């Protein structure tokens, strides 16, 4: 992973198993959102569902985005016991997952 200082976004795209219920997804979302209160380097969390009319989601229905201060914060988050416990719970409901960390770049006008 390339080291980056400043804001880093951690994006998770989730394709849930067919048998995962909406109640289970709600439980996952609440547990994911709670990580921001447990893991200091995690500065914010937001999530949403695909609403695109292009139908290019390839079965990925949910996106989760967390904000960190640098890649060191992401690295600390990944090994934090609260995240490890959550990730084990989350993974058992996933058919596929895609994770990308990026440093936002803003164009000046």
Rg of the chain's alpha carbons, rounded to an integer? 15
CB atoms < 10 A from the CB of 105, how many? 5
80 catalytic residue (yes or no) = yes
Of 77, 83, 93, 102, the catalytic one is 77
Active site residue 102: no
Cα–Cα distance between 60 and 56 in angstroms, integer?
Answer: 9
Cα dihedral across residues 36, 3, 61, 79: positive or negative: negative
From 10, 62, 80, 83, active-site residue: 80
Q: What is the set of active-site residues?
A: 77, 80
């Amino acid at each position: 992973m390339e080291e980056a200082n400043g804001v880093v976004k951690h994006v998770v795209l989730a394709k849930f198993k067919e048998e995962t219920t909406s109640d289970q997804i709600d439980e996952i979302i609440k547990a994911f959102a709670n990580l921001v209160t447990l893991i200091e380097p995690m500065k914010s969390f937001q999530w949403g569902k695909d609403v695109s009319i292009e139908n290019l989601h390839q079965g990925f229905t949910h996106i989760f985005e967390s904000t960190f201060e640098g890649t060191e914060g992401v690295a600390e988050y990944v090994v934090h016991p609260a995240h490890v416990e959550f990730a084990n719970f989350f993974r058992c409901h996933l058919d596929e997952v895609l994770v990308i960390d990026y440093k936002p770049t803003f164009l000046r006008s």
